[in-house]
């Protein structure tokens, strides 16, 4: 039986500890037999850790009043709501 390829999404979820036990074990087994993918996941983790180190302090800072007011005032505009959500996800993802 042919081995099922692991997707980048699965590799990323494994690296972030977001998989259940069975899926995590399947990805772990894949990585043990595919060192090039294991190296990619290691590099992703290093990049994530560097971003957290660089941006972590900024995420702990309070949102400037002018930006908070702008987002709140424009919250009815779908474009601004999407921009605010994207910014929030970017900061959250960097942590």
Question: According to the model, what pLDDT value does residue 29 have?
Answer: 95
Alpha-carbon gap, residue 60 to 71, rounded angstroms: 19
pLDDT tens digit sequence for 35-91: 999 999 999 999 989 988 888 888 778 888 888 777 777 655 566 666 777 777 777
Question: According to the model, what pLDDT value does residue 44 have?
Answer: 94
Question: According to the model, what pLDDT value does residue 8 have?
Answer: 94
Does the pTM surpass 0.85? The reply is no
Would you say 15 and 23 are in contact if contact means Cβ atoms under 8 Å apart? no
Question: According to the model, what pLDDT value does residue 77 have?
Answer: 58
């Amino acid at each position: 039986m042919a081995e099922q390829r692991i997707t980048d999404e699965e590799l990323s979820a494994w690296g972030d500890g977001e998989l259940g036990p069975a899926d995590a074990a399947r990805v772990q087994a894949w990585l043990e037999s595919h060192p090039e993918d294991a190296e990619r996941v290691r590099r992703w983790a290093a990049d994530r850790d560097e971003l957290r180190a660089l941006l972590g302090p900024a995420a702990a800072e309070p949102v400037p009043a002018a930006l908070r007011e702008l987002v709140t005032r424009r919250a009815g505009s779908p474009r601004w709501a999407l921009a605010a959500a994207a910014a929030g996800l970017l900061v959250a993802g960097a942590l």
